[in-house]
Amino acid sequence: MKKLACRLLLILFVFVNAHAMAQQGYAISGTIKDENNQPVKGATIFISGSQKITSANDAGEFTFYTILPGYYNLSVKMLGYLPYSQNIEIKDKPADLHISLKVKTNQLKEVVIGKSKSKDLFMRVFKQQFLGATENGQACVLLNPGAVNFSTKKEFLMADADEFLVVENKNLGYKIRYMLKSFWYNAATDRTDYSGDALFEEMPGTEKMKQKWAKKRLEAYNGSLVHFLRAVYTNTVLKEGFLVYKTYPKPAKNANDNLVYIDPRPVKFDSLFNVVDTAFLTFKAIPLLVRYDPKQAAKIVDRKELFSLKGVTMTGKSTLISFPGNETAIDRKGVFKDYEGMSITGDWGMSRLGDKVPLEYQPPK
């Protein structure tokens, strides 16, 4: 009996200790070396989309402390080397990384056709498509525009940068360093795609400015993809103002219309959940139409209705979103595990850097 009691106490101790460790967080550490296995000192390491940054010491070593369980994208930037990114899952133990940087040899050469006004045009297009055409995007200032390299190919405008692009968002009060990996804009289709990693820093300001920033940050957060994924995680989608519907292929007889076909019964996420632990959950990956409309969401009454297929228009803050595979996972920060496989069109697809807030952002309660 004593042995059984001791064993139960040991199990309880291990469980409590593991839970306490998870609440305190774990370390992400590692060593950065070049292709000759020599340490790369002074490299900048940061967690993409956050305010967390450090640098490698003389031995190429670095450490982030108190990282809570979740999904993270760790990025490394060093002049003369290709940018490096790695997805990391922190669950119940620290992460120890061994990173090898490759020398950057094939740099994108700047190609400007015609007079200098061509580059001015390229820059205007780049700023609008990269920072955004919203009020927040227009309030952003690119402090080092000369760092952007442009090239063109038929209807495509392409860009990259050898150093961090530095942006001041005067509406949200963030200074952003962005490691641009690729950018292209198709003038024929007015479509843009870019990739990179952002590091956020609080801008200094007066109390009045901080109050303005707080208001604007909340406006940017409300209805965003991160807001939605956090609401999914807490199973408060309707409460947070989101109307979510399962979408279906367009009927053959309606092939030429511009409607999206849905089940008009709002999705109940608790029927899709598989809770992994307190930091992660998985849910069935189904194609969705998401609308942010708090007033309409507050009117929804839970009642049993039969399935019907309904064609609707994409109005207001509406987004079509689909996930890779049969199941997908998110963490409590609202970070999606396989975000690169997501397909997003509509409101969220038009969101740009100027409307982003860091992972650390929490709305006032």
Q: List, for residues 290-335, the tens digit of each pLDDT value.
A: 999 999 999 987 777 888 899 999 988 999 999 888 888 999 999 9
Termini Cα distance of the chain: 49
Q: What is the DSSP string of 114-151?
A: SSHHHHHHHHHHHHHHHH-SSHHHHTEEES-GGGEEEE
pLDDT at 177: 98
The yes-or-no verdict on residue 12 having pLDDT over 70 is no
Looking at the structure, do residues 229 and 182 belong to the same domain, yes or no? Answer: no
What's the mean pLDDT when you consider all of the chain?
Answer: 89
The yes-or-no verdict on residue 115 having pLDDT over 90 is no
| Percentage, residues of the chain above pLDDT 70 | 90
Q: Which domain holds residue 156?
A: 116-207
The yes-or-no verdict on residue 117 having pLDDT over 80 is no
Sign of the dihedral through C-alpha 338, 341, 346, 349: positive
Indicate the DSSP class of residue 318: E
**Token pair for residue 322?**
């689909």
> Which of 159, 179, 207 represents a domain boundary (last residue)?
207
Confidence of residue 4 (pLDDT cuts 50, 70, 90): very low
Looking at the structure, do residues 78 and 134 belong to the same domain, yes or no? Answer: no
The yes-or-no verdict on residue 20 having pLDDT over 50 is no
Query: Quick one: which of 68, 77, 169, 173 has its CA closest to 127?
Result: 169
Looking at the structure, do residues 265 and 344 belong to the same domain, yes or no? Answer: yes
pLDDT at 7: 45
Residue 87: how many other CB atoms lie within 10 Å: 13
Looking at the structure, do residues 349 and 230 belong to the same domain, yes or no? Answer: yes
pLDDT at 114: 47
* Any domain includes 267: yes
* Any domain includes 217: no
Confidence of residue 23 (pLDDT cuts 50, 70, 90): low
CATH code (residue 41): 2.60.40.10
User: Based on the structure, what is the number of domains in the chain?
Assistant: 3
Burial of 105 (0-12, 13-18, 19+ CB in 10 A): exposed
pLDDT at 106: 63
Indicate the DSSP class of residue 269: G
The yes-or-no verdict on residue 269 having pLDDT over 90 is no
* Any domain includes 212: no
pTM confidence score: 0.87
From residue 99, give the alpha-carbon distance in Å to each of 63, 96, 345: 13, 10, 34
Higher pLDDT, 302 or 8: 302
The yes-or-no verdict on residue 19 having pLDDT over 80 is no
CA 102 to the chain's CA centroid: 25
pLDDT at 324: 86
Cα 165 from Cα 206, distance rounded (Å)? 25
Looking at the structure, do residues 282 and 240 belong to the same domain, yes or no? Answer: yes
Strand 26-33 with 95-100, pairing: parallel
Question: Tell me: the pLDDT tens digits for 28-56?
Answer: 999 999 999 999 999 999 999 999 999 99
Looking at the structure, do residues 85 and 194 belong to the same domain, yes or no? Answer: no
Q: Taking residues 161-178, report their average pLDDT.
A: 96
Looking at the structure, do residues 153 and 193 belong to the same domain, yes or no? Answer: yes
Q: Which residues contact 170 (CB under 8 A, 6 or more apart)?
A: 139, 140, 141
Higher pLDDT, 80 or 28: 28
Looking at the structure, do residues 301 and 258 belong to the same domain, yes or no? Answer: yes
Looking at the structure, do residues 229 and 185 belong to the same domain, yes or no? Answer: no
Residue 325 dihedral angles phi and psi, to the nearest 5° = 75, -170
Task: Name all contacts of 180-184 with Cβ < 8 Å and 24+ positions apart.
Answer: 180/148, 181/83, 181/85, 182/158, 183/126, 183/129, 183/130, 183/158, 183/159, 184/156, 184/157, 184/158, 184/159
